Structure 1
Amino acid sequence: MEVIKELPQVFADFAEQRKKSFLTVKELKDKGVPVVGAYCTYFPKEIAMAMGAATVGLCSTSDETIAEAERDLPKNLCPLIKSSYGFAKTDKCPYFYFSDVVVGETTCDGKKKMYELMQEFKDVYMMELPNSQSERGLAFWKEEIIAFKHYLEKKFNVTITDEDVRRAVREENAVRRSLKRFYSTMRHEPTPMTGHDMFKVLYGTTFKLDRSVIPAEIDALTDTIEKEYAAGKRQDKKPRILITGCPMGGATEKVIRAIEENGGVVVAYENCTGTKNVERLVDEEAEDIYQALAERYLAIGCSVMTPNPNRYESLDSLIDEYHVDGVVEMVLQACHTYSVESKSIRDFVTKKKNIPYIYIETDYSTTDVGQLSTRLAAFVEML
């Protein structure tokens, strides 16, 4: 079949978006626009957006600064935590450097203790995340969101109105709808693009500082993909893979490449850089917009939640909707929450959904690229 030729440059542009926005964030600072950085999808960005701030994800996807981080942090710690701290400490992350405040969250033990060290050289605001999605947890999380609003109002001497928050909710919901429509194109069999190209767009948009321009840009891309697919421009038929587990990006894209260079195609990402980040909307018409925000964000299915039913619900629907042939779970070394939950995920995938599963443990180095290729080649061939 004819492979898409018109779109590679678009995908490449999204892949470079993180670097492109380095200059943009400085320009915003020069104009006096507040910048709020965060590391986690539980961060309720609409509150910061409501006061006109730019929100940005911070650097944490390379082993470049891990040696420096290990001067303060233990070596047997999750590479995401060490990378985050290392980029912050060495000032090698422009987004961190220009952030007026970094929003931390009490997800895993390693991250929340790392934030304590980070507070020694950066203004870090900690949001205390409940560890369950109960009614009590929801009430507490709503209080935390409102407390964050009050913090921003005091720090930046602004007033954030309910209508400001609703405006930001509508803006970010539009982004989510467009991205969901974009990645839904992977339901086609065969697929219209590679899973890596899909990932470049999903990951790249997290570094688009002007959220208002994203929907039109993504909708135009999706329209082009659908038009070219209808004209017969598509990938060859391949085993369809879903990736779940820890956040991806940067160094860990080696897992995507290992799957696709060995004959598979990644059709869905059930992780923080995939559907988990955009699949749920905030109720724009809710009488209590802070309750609506709390419900949306607390419903994210992360392994830090006990129990964690929403992750299984998402996996269930994604496996069916995207006709998944096999599941790859990627877990970062020393990520205890995801590694412990992996047994339940394996049982769910193999016993309830009756499809193959493989567990991949890795870090931000390139030393295991050959081993990853060998294991994932055998997994894809089995499918």
Structure 2
Amino acid sequence: MNELPEKINEFAEKRRQGFITIKNLKDEGKKVVGVFCAFTPRELISASGAIPVSLCGTSEEPIADAEKHLPRNLCPLIKSSYGFAITQKCPYTYFSDLIVGETTCDGKKKMFEMLGKFKNVHVMQLPQTTKSEDSYKLWKNEMLKLKGKLEEEFGVEITEEKLKNEIKLKNRERKALREFYELGKMTPPPLSGMEILKVLRGSEFTYDKENQIKTVKDMTEEIKKRYDEGERKVSSKAKRILITGCPLGEATDKIINLIEENGGVVVCYENCGGVKNIGFLVDEDIDPIDAITDKYINIACSCMTPNDNRIKLLSELIDDYKIDGVIDVILQACHTYNVETYTIKEFVTKEKNTPYMSIETDYSQTDIGQLKTRIGAFIEML
């Protein structure tokens, strides 16, 4: 695999290349289910024979169209997602036979109502705490409701065997990706944070999972081999940064780029799409509905209260990845993550004795100058 950088860049193009793949699969009669969030049980969707695709808006482009219906002071991720839907500029949304959402935050919850006027939307009622037996029962019931919805929509039966098989396949994918992103534990890391992110992001738009698993495993082994042979792409002096907070999209790559242009390297992503989601497996030894209920109710999202799982996870990651500094990325108008910054700052600085900074931003590129100054000063302080 002499063309290793090209392999990584191939993952970066998966989202765009996937447009054609999805159209071809639709032409073959396959069903497509659009999903927005880490709480969506993709194994259940796959067990129905449908293809789960990620819909979250990651671009500033459709926001102006979305603001014709939505308030300006709303999370850019929500506006972008809705804008892509109403303009039909996102093929994934266009080709979705069903869209699954969850009541994670008020903005998404109300946006789903509007989206439901022109798309087939099923909303899962997400309990807001993991500390209650009632919450577990509610979430399990939502799993069963989604199972029934998928069976009804697509005229299929989701058997226990089908669901178990999908759980095993998804776990194998998680293990391969986990082995890849844990390369960031090396000192210095063999990859930049942007390279790691390209692969993690591209995996969301790869539909031949067996081929993806093999490609990621082969790439990980090649990177380790080159590292053992002495190849170093990142300076040993680069400050090791952990990114936490809101989901990251292409529009927020400006933050990772500025970190790595100013003497830092992102070695770990705690956000959705990073360790928070793919770092934890589904139990293969218990009833599959119970297993996915337990997996997906324990995601360390700020919509949960108390969000003790996030504190526990951050504590482990700061130690395991030898973190020099934590950067908390907050999208404008994301109230749950914004309110939580105080708790996270107190924990990171006082209990973990690690420097911390929070960044509030949106999908525009107008704040790059300000971000460069703040990030540069933070890393210089480290």
What range is the shorter-chain TM-score in? over 0.9
- Once the two structures are TM-superposed, the CA of residue 59 in structure 1 deviates from its matched residue by 4.1
CA displacement, residues 36-70 of structure 1 (integer Å, 9 cap, x when unaligned): 11010000010110021111101401110111001
The answer to whether residue 155 in structure 2 is matched with residue 157 in structure 1 is yes
CA displacement, residues 94-153 of structure 1 (integer Å, 9 cap, x when unaligned): 000001001011000000000000001100011110000122111111110011001111
Query: What corresponds to 2:18 in structure 1?
Result: 21
Query: What corresponds to 1:43 in structure 2?
Result: 40
Equivalents in 1 of 2:254, 2:39: separation in Å? 26
Q: Report the secondary structure of 2:295's partner residue.
A: helix
Equivalents in 1 of 2:106, 2:282: separation in Å? 28
Query: What corresponds to 1:382 in structure 2?
Result: 381
Query: What corresponds to 1:334 in structure 2?
Result: 333
TM-score by length of 1: 0.98
Query: What corresponds to 1:79 in structure 2?
Result: 76
Equivalents in 1 of 2:156, 2:188: separation in Å? 51
Once superposed, what is the RMSD of the aligned Cα atoms?
Answer: 1.1
Q: Which amino acid aligns with 2:90?
A: C
Equivalents in 2 of 1:345, 1:214: separation in Å? 35
- Once the two structures are TM-superposed, the CA of residue 6 in structure 1 deviates from its matched residue by 4.2
Query: What corresponds to 1:216 in structure 2?
Result: 214
Q: Report the secondary structure of 1:62's partner residue.
A: coil
Q: Which amino acid aligns with 2:347?
A: F
Query: What corresponds to 2:279 in structure 1?
Result: 279
Equivalents in 1 of 2:15, 2:62: separation in Å? 17
Deviating more after overlay: 249-258 vs 5-14: 5-14
CA displacement, residues 285-305 of structure 1 (integer Å, 9 cap, x when unaligned): 21x110110000111000000
Equivalents in 1 of 2:35, 2:136: separation in Å? 21
Q: Structure 1: which 4+ aligned runs deviate by more than 6 Å?
A: none
Query: What corresponds to 2:313 in structure 1?
Result: 314
Equivalents in 2 of 1:277, 1:93: separation in Å? 24
- Once the two structures are TM-superposed, the CA of residue 273 in structure 1 deviates from its matched residue by 2.0
Aligned ranges 1:81-120 → 2 under 5 Å: 81-120=78-117
Q: Which amino acid aligns with 2:89?
A: K
Is contact 2:302-2:337 (8 Å) kept? yes
Query: What corresponds to 1:171 in structure 2?
Result: 169
Q: Report the secondary structure of 2:168's partner residue.
A: helix
Query: What corresponds to 1:201 in structure 2?
Result: 199
Deviating more after overlay: 202-211 vs 169-178: 202-211
Q: Which amino acid aligns with 1:371?
A: Q
Percent of matched pairs sharing the same residue: 52
- From 114, 123, 128, give the equivalent of 1:126: 123
The answer to whether residue 30 in structure 2 is matched with residue 33 in structure 1 is yes
CA displacement, residues 150-202 of structure 1 (integer Å, 9 cap, x when unaligned): 11111111111000000000010000000000011111101101011000001
Equivalents in 1 of 2:239, 2:93: separation in Å? 39
Equivalents in 2 of 1:138, 1:218: separation in Å? 34
- Once the two structures are TM-superposed, the CA of residue 209 in structure 1 deviates from its matched residue by 1.9
Is contact 1:328-1:359 (8 Å) kept? yes
- From 1, 5, 8, give the equivalent of 2:5: 8
- Once the two structures are TM-superposed, the CA of residue 5 in structure 1 deviates from its matched residue by 7.9
Is contact 2:56-2:77 (8 Å) kept? no
How many residues get paired? 379
Equivalents in 1 of 2:223, 2:296: separation in Å? 30
- Once the two structures are TM-superposed, the CA of residue 211 in structure 1 deviates from its matched residue by 2.3
Q: Report the secondary structure of 1:236's partner residue.
A: coil
- Once the two structures are TM-superposed, the CA of residue 310 in structure 1 deviates from its matched residue by 0.7
CA displacement, residues 73-99 of structure 1 (integer Å, 9 cap, x when unaligned): 011111011001000010000000001
Q: Report the secondary structure of 1:207's partner residue.
A: coil
Is contact 1:350-1:357 (8 Å) kept? yes
Q: Which amino acid aligns with 1:140?
A: L
Equivalents in 2 of 1:332, 1:179: separation in Å? 26
Q: Report the secondary structure of 2:363's partner residue.
A: coil
Q: Which amino acid aligns with 2:301?
A: C
Q: Which amino acid aligns with 1:249?
A: G
Equivalents in 2 of 1:12, 1:382: separation in Å? 32
- From 155, 180, 183, give the equivalent of 1:182: 180
Query: What corresponds to 2:189 in structure 1?
Result: 191
